[in-house]
C-alpha cells in the first residue's frame, strides 16, 4: 500500500473539517446558484454505446443536450466506450455500436461545430487521470454508490471495472475542468463523487479543478410500453416495450397500439392509478411539445384505442427526420469516422494540458 490506512483516515478527517464538506456536499450538486451563470462555463456529458438510443434517452437526455450546445460556449459530449466494457461486449458489435451512437447523436441534432463529439477511449488522458483520482478514493465511498449495489446484486458479483467506473466518470468530468454536467436524479451521487475528488485533489495538491454543478434534466420519465412500472430500456427483452429513435412508422404504430393501458376508456393523467395511460400522455405531450393538460384536452372524446393513434402520429412525426438522417449518416462510414477523429483531436487538445498540470502537481513530472 502506498499509504497506511491510518494516514488516509487522518487526512480525510482534516479535509472534511477544513473544507466544511458536510454543509457543502449535497447543496453543491443541485443548487441552482453557482459561480457560472447560464451562457458561461463548460458542459460535459457522456453516453455509453450500447445500441441506438430509445425514446426515453431522447426525451430524458439528448433533447436537452441539443439545447445546451446553444447555451454554453464550450460543450463536450463523449461516447464513453470504456464504461461500456464493464459488461461483456462483442468487439465487432462494440465498434458498430460506437458508430451507431455517433450517427444517433448527430441525427438528433448534436452539431460538431458547436459541441465536441468524441470517443472516450481515444483520449488516453481519461484513463491516466482516473488512476490518479482512484488513489484518492476510498473503497467504502465507492461501495455505497447505488449503481454498484444494484448491478453487483444483479450479477451476484461485479468486476473491478464496474466497481471503479464512478472514478473514471469523475475523471471524464474533471479532465476538461467542466463546470456543468447534465444529469438525471439517479446520477447526482456520482456527480457528488466528482465534486469530492475535486476538493480532495485541490486540498492536497493545490487548486486545479472547479466543482462541477448539476444541470438536472427533464423530470419526464418515459416508461416501458409493456410494463409502465419500469423505465423504458434498451435491455428490455420484450421488443414491444421500447421505441427506438430509428423505428419505422409501422413499428412505432404497432408498439403504441399494443401498449398496456387499463379497462377505462377515458384518457386521464394519473400516474399513480393509471400508469399505462399516463405514460402515453407523457409521450404525446413531449413529442408534440405541448403540456400534459393540453394533451389530455386533445384526447377529450377519444377512447384509449383512438388516443393511441394520436400518440403514434406525434411520435412518428418527430422521429421520422431523425431516422432518415441516421440512415444517411450511417451509409457513409468514412464520414462518421472522420467526424469522430476530429472530435478526438479537439478533446485531446483540451485534455493534454490539464493532465500535464495534474502530473506536475502530483510529482509525476
Q: Would you please indicate which residues are annotated as catalytic (active-site) residues?
A: 151, 231, 234
Distances (CA, A) of 263 to 303, 304, 305, 350: 10, 9, 11, 56
**Angstrom distance (rounded) from CA 307 to CA 292:** 14
**Angstrom distance (rounded) from CA 130 to CA 355:** 11
3-state helix, strand and coil shares in percent for the chain, rounded to the nearest 5? 60, 10, 35
Contact (Cβ atoms closer than 8 angstroms) between residue 357 and residue 350: no
Contact (Cβ atoms closer than 8 angstroms) between residue 212 and residue 180: yes
Would you call 346 exposed, middle or buried from its count of C-beta atoms within 10 A (0-12, 13-18, 19+)? middle
Cell of 156: 451476484
The answer for residues whose C-beta is within 8 angstroms of residue 41's C-beta and 6 or more apart is 72, 74, 178, 179, 180
Cell of 89: 461486449
Contact (Cβ atoms closer than 8 angstroms) between residue 148 and residue 163: yes
Relative orientation angle of helices 5-19 and 188-205, to the nearest 10 degrees: 100
Cell of 241: 416495450
Closest CA to 348 of 120, 46, 42, 69: 120
CA angle 195, 69, 177 (to 5 degrees): 30
Amino acid at each position: 500500500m502506498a499509504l497506511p490506512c491510518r494516514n488516509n483516515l487522518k487526512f480525510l478527517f482534516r479535509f472534511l473539517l477544513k473544507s466544511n464538506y458536510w454543509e457543502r456536499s449535497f447543496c453543491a450538486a443541485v443548487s441552482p446558484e453557482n459561480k457560472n451563470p447560464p451562457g458561461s462555463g463548460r458542459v460535459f456529458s457522456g453516453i455509453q454505446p450500447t445500441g441506438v438510443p430509445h425514446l426515453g434517452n431522447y426525451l430524458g437526455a439528448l433533447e436537452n443536450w441539443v439545447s445546451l450546445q446553444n447555451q454554453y460556449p464550450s460543450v463536450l459530449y463523449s461516447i464513453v466506450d470504456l464504461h461500456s466494457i464493464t459488461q461483456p461486449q462483442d468487439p465487432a458489435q462494440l465498434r458498430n455500436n460506437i458508430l451507431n451512437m455517433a450517427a444517433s447523436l448527430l441525427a438528433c441534432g448534436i452539431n460538431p461545430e458547436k459541441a465536441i463529439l468524441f470517443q472516450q477511449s481515444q483520449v488516453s488522458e481519461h484513463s491516466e487521470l482516473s488512476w490518479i483520482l482512484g488513489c484518492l478514493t476510498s473503497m467504502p465511498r465507492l461501495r455505497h454508490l447505488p449503481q454498484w449495489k444494484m448491478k453487483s446484486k444483479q450479477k451476484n458479483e461485479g468486476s473491478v471495472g464496474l466497481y471503479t467506473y464512478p472514478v473514471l466518470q469523475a475523471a471524464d468530468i474533471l479532465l476538461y475542468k467542466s463546470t456543468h454536467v447534465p444529469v438525471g436524479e439517479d446520477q447526482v451521487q456520482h456527480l457528488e463523487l466528482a465534486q469530492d475528488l475535486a476538493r480532495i485533489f485541490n486540498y492536497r495538491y493545490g487548486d486545479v479543478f472547479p466543482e462541477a454543478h448539476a444541470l438536472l434534466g427533464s423530470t419526464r420519465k418515459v416508461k416501458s410500453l409493456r410494463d409502465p412500472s419500469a423505465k423504458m430500456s434498451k435491455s428490455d427483452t420484450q421488443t414491444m416495450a421500447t421505441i427506438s429513435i430509428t423505428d419505422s412508422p409501422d413499428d412505432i404504430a404497432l408498439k403504441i397500439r399494443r401498449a398496456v393501458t387499463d379497462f377505462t376508456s377515458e384518457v386521464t393523467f394519473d400516474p399513480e392509478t393509471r400508469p399505462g395511460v399516463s405514460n402515453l400522455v407523457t409521450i404525446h405531450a413531449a413529442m408534440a411539445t405541448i403540456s400534459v393538460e393540453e394533451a389530455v384536452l386533445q384526447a377529450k372524446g377519444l377512447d384509449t384505442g383512438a388516443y393511441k393513434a394520436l400518440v403514434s402520429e406525434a411520435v412518428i412525426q418527430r422521429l421520422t427526420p431523425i431516422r432518415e438522417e441516421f440512415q444517411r449518416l450511417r451509409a457513409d462510414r468514412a464520414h462518421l469516422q472522420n467526424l469522430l477523429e476530429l472530435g478526438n483531436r479537439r478533446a485531446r487538445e483540451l485534455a493534454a494540458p490539464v493532465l500535464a498540470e495534474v502530473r506536475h502537481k502530483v510529482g509525476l513530472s
